[in-house]
Structure 1
Amino acid sequence: MAKIIGLDLGSKTCGIAISDALQMIARALTTVRFESDDYEACLQEVLKILQEQKVKEVVLGLPKHMNGDIGVRGQISIDFSKMLEEHGIQVKLWDERLTTVSAERLLIQGDVSRKKRKKIIDQMAAVQILQSYLDHKGGGF
């Protein structure tokens, strides 16, 4: 099996996680930083990482309102998924409701300082998105 990349796309950052080759465990990889709403710059960085990691499949967090509606942030993720697909990347949009909140709680429980949390929160949210997908697929623990 091939590795899968998980993405948590924000307005200035994109947290990135990667699975193991067996698609069982997600781990944090990096955070891409870009100018506010410059998704083309983000895309170029993500494509480099996909090439370096030899990955062709991405799970992209899809922000939804608690009632399930898709707002502005959700539409941005949908548009970004289309940009990836134009480059031959297979994209699965995945409900990311509360993943950042959950990641923040895990980091607080782990006694991670506020300064360090700010640096890695996007990666941890990407891990939550990807691990949720892997578990749903049946590969995760």
Structure 2
Amino acid sequence: MTGEGEEEMKWRQRKGWLEARTSLGWCVVPAFLIIWLHRLHCFKKEQMKVIEPVELFQKLCSSGAMQKGRLLGLDVGQRYVGLAVSDVANRIASPGSVLVRKKTNIDIMAKVFQKLVSQHSLVGFVVGYPFCLWGQSSVEAVQVRLFMEDLRNTGRLNGLAYTYWDENYTSKCVEALLEPLDLNPVKSKTIKDKFAAVGILQGYLDNMNRKLKPGNLARE
């Protein structure tokens, strides 16, 4: 490159402009605009999204992540969110922690989820959802969806997927098991939320592993 050409390139770099090829020929586009458009494209492509239960498990299997990737189960309540995590084979759910839920701390919760994603190589969430037999949407169902939308909108969990799984009677079963222990209300509540999340995730894992066995999948 000649000295004159080098000077022209340096001038363009100092001004923050880049040349971009279009169908109409070469045109000059601001560098910051190219970077912004690239980030916007990546955000749309990788934004956390809801998918069908079978699709989430198939994604886990087809990606080759079955030996290392895990799933996180969520029991979303008005005040607390109980967590459970699968093992590396995605067959057994174990209790995790309980997060305090507030309208003002969604970004803090997203950071906690980010940390869990890194610690456990999470590839998706299984979220308990109170499906109604009559097709009506309950208050509990609405608040679960709002929570997941708020979590997604933080942008901290891009690239992950989540699905909804029936949580009906899960909490009631856990309450029945805890009743004989006569625990104090606070401790009982946190334990209930943890194991409700375990019940949600374990039900999902049992169903998917049974449904997606090679023989069963071939028959379907």
TM-score class, shorter: 0.7 to 0.9
Give the whole-Å Cα distance in 1 for the aligned partners of 2:123 and 2:129. 19
Give the whole-Å Cα distance in 1 for the aligned partners of 2:135 and 2:110. 26
Q: Secondary structure at the match of 1:4?
A: strand
The ranges of structure 1 where at least 4 consecutive aligned residues each deviate by more than 6 angstroms after the TM superposition are none
Q: Which residue of 2 aligns with 1:133?
A: 204
CA contact (8 A) 1:84 1:91 kept: no
> How far off its partner does 1:66 sit?
5.3
Question: Structure 1: which 5+ residue stretches go unaligned?
Answer: none
For residues 89-128 of structure 1, the aligned pairs below 5 Å read 89-108=160-179, 111-115=180-184, 116-128=187-199
Give the whole-Å Cα distance in 1 for the aligned partners of 2:117 and 2:133. 31
More helix by share: 2
Q: How many residues align?
A: 136
What percentage of residue pairs aligned between the two structures are identical?
29
> How far off its partner does 1:79 sit?
3.2
Structure 2 CA distance for partners of 1:76 and 1:44, relative to 1, 3 Å = farther
For residues 1-141 of structure 1, the aligned pairs below 5 Å read 1=66, 2-35=69-102, 37-38=103-104, 40=106, 41-65=108-132, 67-82=134-149, 83-84=151-152, 87-108=158-179, 111-115=180-184, 116-138=187-209
CA contact (8 A) 1:66 1:97 kept: no
> How far off its partner does 1:77 sit?
1.9
**For residues 15-74 of structure 1, what are the alpha-carbon distances to aligned partners after superposition, in whole Å with 9 as ceiling and x for unaligned?**
000111111111101101133x44614333333322322212110011234534222321
RMSD of equivalent CA atoms? 2.2
CA contact (8 A) 1:14 1:42 kept: no
TM (normalized to structure 1)? 0.82
